[in-house]
Structure 1
Amino acid sequence: MKKKIQVIIKNNNFKQIKKGKVISVFTGYAFNYLIPNGIAEVATKNQIKHYKMFSEIARKEQEANSIATQKIKNSIEQISKITIYKKIGDKNLIFGSIKEKDIINWINEYCDVKIEKKQIQIENISNVNINLFKINIKQNITVTVRLCIIPYNI
């Protein structure tokens, strides 16, 4: 009987070993702990091929997501400023305030990029001024954009 056996890890939370990794462990450890608890399974040629195929698909999806994120980032960085026209009252205060919805509408109209309300970090803006706000594209990727409010009176 062999002292060691090849097993494939089935989940990511086992000793910081990635899912699909083939490791060599003692037979008793494999059959008494890893396999009954669903942490690993015996490594056969077909199982190894199966996990490699799925890891390749996951890698391609991750690559496609990073390319799409980079395209969105580049198109938003092309915006030099966003201009919104608002009616003003006394002391250069605008009626209402600038909300995420106003910015989303502007970006959808002029850039053809879909962003969500929760991606925009904007402070309460209630006067005519040039302001900065941030758009979180992904967790680590943030773009800062200028917002110009132009007054008009009817």
Structure 2
Amino acid sequence: MSKKLQVVLSKSVSKLGKDGDMVEVAPGYATNYLIPQGFAKLATPGIIKQVEQRKAKEQQRIIAEREDALARKTALQTVGRFVVRKQVGEGESIFGTVTTQDLADAIKASTGQEVDRRGITIPEIGKTGFYKAQVKIHPEVTAEVEIQVAPL
């Protein structure tokens, strides 16, 4: 039985790993396919050190991104209530509906923060009043904001 070789992937390979992963593969697979095609490099001490440094930098970037998202969440919750104005008919019913884009525009106008409308979850709104909405700022950070639907 032949010994396995350690290689560091330079591109993502399905069912094997993603860029920067260190994997053990059969010697023939490494020397005949992965290395010649540019998918991997033989794991030397220098390359292993580079991979560890890259992973440490990536981890720091992820932590900084999460802290930034927490700060944005605090800013959104400090403002508290965002006003969305809609045309109103009989019985305080609104024409149309309040969309995620309406809320994203209200947040941009109030705080100056860009919020992706696809990360906003709002309830079904048919009348004027106060409603709660979820704004996903980061995969781990979600802010709850209040929407006031008011007549034009």
CA apart distance, 1:95 = 2.3
Return the index of the structure with the highest Cα Rg.
Answer: 1
TM-score w.r.t. length of structure 2: 0.69
Partner of 2:117: 117
Partner of 1:47: 47
2:70 and 2:4 mapped to 1: Cα distance? 46
1:23 and 1:147 mapped to 2: Cα distance? 50
Partner of 1:108: 108
Partner of 2:126: 126
Paired letter, 2:72: I
Number of positions where the alignment pairs a residue of Structure 1 with one of Structure 2: 150
TM-score w.r.t. length of structure 1: 0.68
CA apart distance, 1:130 = 1.3
Identity %, equivalent residues? 22
Contact 1:97/1:125 (CA < 8 Å) preserved in 2?
Answer: yes
Q: How large is the RMSD of aligned CA atoms in angstroms?
A: 3.4
Relative distance call for 1:85 and 1:5 in structure 2 (3 A) is: closer
Question: Within 5 Å, which residues of 2 pair with 1:19-34?
Answer: none
Paired letter, 2:87: K
Question: Within 5 Å, which residues of 2 pair with 1:18-97?
Answer: 42-97=42-97
- SS of equivalent residue, structure 1 residue 67: helix
Structure 2 gaps of 5+ residues are none
Relative distance call for 1:139 and 1:53 in structure 2 (3 A) is: closer
1:23 and 1:150 mapped to 2: Cα distance? 58
CA apart distance, 1:10 = 7.4
Contact 2:10/2:39 (CA < 8 Å) preserved in 1?
Answer: yes
